[in-house]
Amino acid sequence: MADASSKAAAAARASDPRTTHPSLNLSGNVISAAFCVPFKVHYCPDGSWQLDSRHGTSALFESLSYLSSAESPWVHTLVGWTGEIAKGHRQKEPPITCQEDGGPFEQNPRSTHGAGTYAEAKSSSSHEPCLQISSSSRAQLAKDLTAQHGGKVTPVWLPDEITDDDTAILRDQRRWRKYGEHELFTLFHYKQNEPTDGRAVRKQWVDYHCLNKAFADAIVDAYKPGDIILIHDYQLLLLPSLIRQRLPNAYIGFFLHIPFPSSEYYRCLPRRKEIMEGVLGSNMIGFQAYSYARHFSSCCSRILGFDSSAAGVDAYGAHVPVDVFPIGINVDATMQAAFGSSGIEKKMGILRDVYAGKKIIVGRDRLDSIRGVAQKLQAFEIFLTRYPHWQDKVVLIQVTSPTSLEEHGDKNDKMANKISELVARINGKFGSLSFTPVHHYPQYLSQEEYFALLRVADLGLITSVRDGMNTTALEYVLCQRDNFSPLIISEFSGTAGSLGNAIHINPWDLGGTADAINSALIMPDEEKRAKHRLLYQHVTTNTVQAWTDSYLKRLLTNLASHDQAIATPALDRVKMLAQYRNSTRRLFMFDYDGTLTPIVRDPQAAIPSDRVIRTLKSLASDPRNQVWIISGRDQAFLDEWMGHISELGLSAEHGSFMRMPNSTGWENLTATLDMSWQDEVLRIYDFYTARTPGSFVERKKIALTLHYRRADPEYGVYMARQCQKHLENTVVKQWDVEVMTGKANLEVRPRFVNKGEIAKRLVAEYGEGHGKAPDFVLCLGDDFTDEDMFRTLRHSQLPEDHRYAVTVGAKTKQTLASWHLLEPADVISAIALLNGNKEGVNAAVAAQVDSEQQRR
């Protein structure tokens, strides 16, 4: 008995993932974030809840179920939106059964010569115009979901309003889908919407941000140190960064279940930078196919400017691995459903009788614009024309279930009408009183009907023009365990790369698809068996359970093996605004080039825009604010473009000169310095500018700067490095100066003159002048020279929640700043938020801070 107990304990330790990577201090908990819970939620008149299985994303739901099961070594919590809550009823209506025309399923196919409509297939909406749900009912839903799912479920609530008695008011529930499905899903599948004035999209973007923020709140509340957070799919692309803001040390994995487009297509997305920045808050990013991962890395380089490779992306001081994980299905459950019911055998018999003597081609798709149903029908029409001997001997059974997407109604109707017209045309052209070549079922099939259809099929036909993962293909392979019928799959499906022994087709090549159908139908039995054996082996080996374990294992391996420097999180605007409003002694220190204005090829062209001037003037006009521009620019430039804002403090040449607020005179902090080193530096600069076309020297009163923005990028960097080595081996050894590297420039200046010394002086003088230290400090900068300011703040006595050191731009190296912003436009937006601006995302931020202050 003792030996048995010891073996059991050893086995338990071996299965415990915490023992594999002890350095990570894992808690053993996994928190999964999925857009919706796996159930359709109905609120009944008596205050109880009714839960029905949700169609779609079956592989994801199977993965979540596995993590919550006893098979998994993890303790699992699922965080998901409730979805649109509908009015419930206790008795389900019996299914409509129709036997006209001898249809084998519960509803008739659109197989007649008429066009038909989709009116019956569209799900009737029973959503209440306004639902009022008490806090006790919301708590009960969490219990019911947990009981039904088999593991803890935390529903995310997205109310339009919360009343004083904590009742949630739900009105327009579908709004939370719109940005993800109208903008992201469409573009990620290489489709574009018609251009608009942007007002609706801006509102949808705010909703999208609020959705991700609600998920972040729920996850942060559930999180314990050592937990692993897994985030799924395109609806939650901002979530990794939002969590990273509040949980800097969290272990975060992200997986995208749909395609990721090429950079040329992705760059059409107006919010392209915000989306990518959101995903890069992860510790690892997974994709369904290699091409998707490659596209993502390319976008990080081309759009954000980060260094990237096939292995990952270097962003904000951390390495973010990018990898490929083709998802599978629950093989055991599928086999049990497909082969474990006598009802399926009965339905198979009915199908064989109805289609006796005919080859059966099967397609099952959603009514989405990317499923390729129209291409499938057109290819089938060409097949019957090109190979007339198959007429009367083959049927296409096409099941087209209603879309789960919030697509534009007119587009959806046009697609449905087009499909109905194609069906009618093919049946009218090739059909007869005794034969109908296309049987079209615009409906959901029962599980028994679906698996019976896959088992009797002679050919599976998938013609998606784009999709991430196609479960039908994998289920078809399993259902052909005994028949070995071939599978045709689109090369644009994310599953195609995993099914190398299927017949791959280009769905846009209708003739090629028609030829592939013929080849599949006449394929010799031995070839069928050989191909199917390899397909079956792949599907049964790469299950959804194996996928889940593989993803987690790779995430933990990356966390343990890489130098896991913490990525600098995006600026938490909610936290910043709340602290700003609660403070009365505020100090601002802003760099200029690359912070308030973008870096340009000609430094003299980097003049502040009207918006920059207005934003700074508004900020400085508040008597509680002391605002400083601490720049490498000389006095003349700062006087010309900002000298008219009398409330501004100005510091030129990295702290060599200062102009106090409400003053016109400049103080020279380097008046007593020996400047004889400048002659030697100019001689060296002249040597390298003569050999580097496009480079030039900027001579300031104190510092000397060599610019190479206009030079060839690679050659300019090379010559700048040579010049830096020359300076360090000569001038630096003779005088007390230092060589600073900036963005496409080298600068030589006295060693003690830097922005850090100015920041230290300003913080100290503020305390002396006001009797107290500032209770809000915002410091913004974009390059190496600004790290001195960040270092000063980090080592100061100011409380951490009173100081905001923010680096600006796409950084790959580590920084001493606590936060980051992507570009100067984000800087102006963040400052405008403090001024009361409520446009775009600022509206959601201000609304949240307002709400929190009202509750207090």
pLDDT on residue 629: 97
Q: Residues 583, 584, 587, 592: is their CA dihedral positive or negative?
A: positive
What would the pLDDT profile of 619-652 be if each residue is shown by its tens digit?
999 999 999 999 988 899 999 999 999 999 999 9
Please give the Cα distance from 31 to 153 (Å, whole number).
10
Please give the Cα distance from 147 to 150 (Å, whole number).
5
Please give the Cα distance from 21 to 416 (Å, whole number).
52
Token output for 42 = 């109905």
Do residues 781 and 651 touch, judged by C-beta distance below 8 A?
Answer: no
pTM for this model (two decimals): 0.84
Q: Which residues of 362-389 are buried (b: 16+ CB within 10 A; e: fewer)?
A: bbbbbbbbbbbbbbbbbbbbbbbeebee
Quick one: pLDDT band at residue 536, thresholds 50, 70, 90? very high
Token output for 595 = 């912070």
Token output for 414 = 């046009």
Q: Residues 270, 372, 405, 125: is their CA dihedral positive or negative?
A: positive
For the 584-664+754-824 domain, the top CATH level (class) is alpha beta
| Residue 483: pLDDT over 80 | yes
Intervals of CATH 3.40.50.1000 along the chain: 584-664+754-824
% pLDDT > 70, the chain:
91
Better-scored residue on pLDDT, 49 or 405: 49
Residues 352-365: what's their mean pLDDT?
94
Token output for 360 = 């059966």
Residues whose CB is less than 8 angstroms from the CB of residue 854 and which lie 6 or more positions away in sequence, other chains included: none
Q: Which run of H or E residues covers position 212?
A: helix 199-222
| Residue 9: pLDDT over 50 | no
Please give the Cα distance from 394 to 458 (Å, whole number).
10
Cα 730–chain centre separation: 50
pLDDT on residue 154: 97
Q: Which run of H or E residues covers position 459?
A: strand 459-462
Please give the Cα distance from 790 to 166 (Å, whole number).
43
Residues 324-352: what's their mean pLDDT?
93
| Residue 561: pLDDT over 90 | no
In degrees, rounded to 5, the angle at the alpha carbon of residue 319 between the alpha carbons of residues 316 and 323 is 130
Quick one: pLDDT band at residue 19, thresholds 50, 70, 90? confident
Better-scored residue on pLDDT, 358 or 700: 358
Token output for 340 = 């474990």
Q: Does domain 676-750 have CATH number 3.90.1070.10?
A: yes
For the 173-323 domain, the top CATH level (class) is alpha beta
Please give the Cα distance from 625 to 300 (Å, whole number).
37
Domain 331-548 sits in which CATH superfamily?
Glycogen Phosphorylase B; (3.40.50.2000)
Assign 3-class secondary structure to 51-115: EEECCCCHHHHHHHHHHHCCCCCCEEEEEEECCCCEECCCCCCCCCCCCHHHCCCCCCCCCCCCC
| Residue 440: pLDDT over 70 | yes
Please give the Cα distance from 546 to 543 (Å, whole number).
5
3-state SS class at 161? strand
Intervals of CATH 3.40.50.2000 along the chain: 173-323, 331-548
Closest CA to 780 of 569, 571, 567: 571
Do residues 327 and 257 touch, judged by C-beta distance below 8 A?
Answer: yes
pLDDT on residue 411: 61
pLDDT on residue 104: 56
Please give the Cα distance from 53 to 361 (Å, whole number).
28
pLDDT on residue 20: 82
Least confident of 191-195, 265-269, 345-349: 191-195
Q: Give backbone dihedrals phi and psi of 427, rounded to 5 degrees, phi first.
A: -65, -35
Q: Residues 428, 434, 435, 439: is their CA dihedral positive or negative?
A: positive
Do residues 500 and 458 touch, judged by C-beta distance below 8 A?
Answer: no
Amino acid type, 508: W
What would the pLDDT profile of 564-613 be if each residue is shown by its tens digit?
677 889 999 999 999 999 999 999 999 999 999 998 877 777 899 999 99
Please give the Cα distance from 177 to 83 (Å, whole number).
9
pLDDT on residue 749: 86
Residues 416-425: what's their mean pLDDT?
92
pLDDT on residue 605: 79
What would the pLDDT profile of 86-141 be if each residue is shown by its tens digit?
987 754 444 333 333 334 555 445 444 333 333 333 443 444 458 999 999 999 99
DSSP labels for 711-771?
S-HHHHHHHHHHHHHHHHHTHHHHSSEEEEEETTEEEEEETT-SHHHHHHHHHHHHHHHHS
Least confident of 78-82, 199-203, 331-335, 803-807: 199-203
Least confident of 115-129, 238-252, 490-504: 115-129
Do residues 657 and 668 touch, judged by C-beta distance below 8 A?
Answer: yes
| Residue 839: pLDDT over 90 | no
Please give the Cα distance from 262 to 266 (Å, whole number).
6
In degrees, rounded to 5, the angle at the alpha carbon of residue 120 between the alpha carbons of residues 363 and 106 is 60
Closest CA to 827 of 591, 603, 632: 591
Do residues 87 and 133 touch, judged by C-beta distance below 8 A?
Answer: no
pLDDT on residue 118: 33
Please give the Cα distance from 719 to 186 (Å, whole number).
46
% pLDDT > 90, the chain:
68
CA distances from 461 to 55, 479, 484, 519, 537 (A): 21, 14, 14, 13, 20
In degrees, rounded to 5, the angle at the alpha carbon of residue 613 between the alpha carbons of residues 608 and 616 is 120
Intervals of CATH 3.90.1070.10 along the chain: 676-750
Q: Average per-residue pLDDT in the chain?
A: 88
